[in-house]
Amino acid sequence: MDRDIQFIIDEDRRLARMLDEAKASARERIEQHRRLTEEKKRLELERIQTEFTALTEEKINGIGAARERELEKIRQKNRDLVGNTDLRNKTAGRIVSLLLDNR
C-alpha cells in the first residue's frame, strides 16, 4: 500500500477513536449532570416536606393551644357560676317559689 493511503487509514482510525472517546465522555458528563439534577430535586423535595411538616405541626399545636385556652375559659366560667353565692341563692329562691306555686 502506498504510504499516503496508509496514513489516511491510520488517521481515520485515530479520528474514529477520538470521536468514540468524545462521545463516551459526553455521555458520562450528561449522566453526571442528570444524577446531580436528580439529587438537587430530591434534596429540594425533602426540604419542602420538612418545612411543610413543621408548618403543619405548628398549626396543629396552635389550634390545640387555642382549644385548650377556650376550654380553660369555659371551666373558669363554670367554677365562677358554681361559686357565685348570689346566683345560688337566687336559684334556690326560684326553686322554692316554683315548688310553693305548684302546691
Give the chain's domain count. 1
Quick check: 82 pLDDT over 90? no
* pLDDT greater at residue 59 or residue 4: 59
What does the alpha-carbon distance between residue 53 and residue 86 come to, in Å, rounded to a whole number?
A: 51
pLDDT category of residue 50 using cuts at 50, 70 and 90:
very high
- At 22-42, the pLDDT tens digits run 999 999 999 999 999 999 999
CA distances from 12 to 3, 5, 32, 60, 88 (A): 14, 10, 30, 71, 110
| Range of the structural domain that residue 43 is part of | 3-101
Question: For residue 1, is pLDDT > 70?
Answer: no
> What pLDDT does 84 receive?
77
In percent, how much of the chain has pLDDT > 70?
A: 99
Q: Report the C-alpha dihedral over residues 77, 79, 83, 86, rounded to 10 degrees.
A: 20
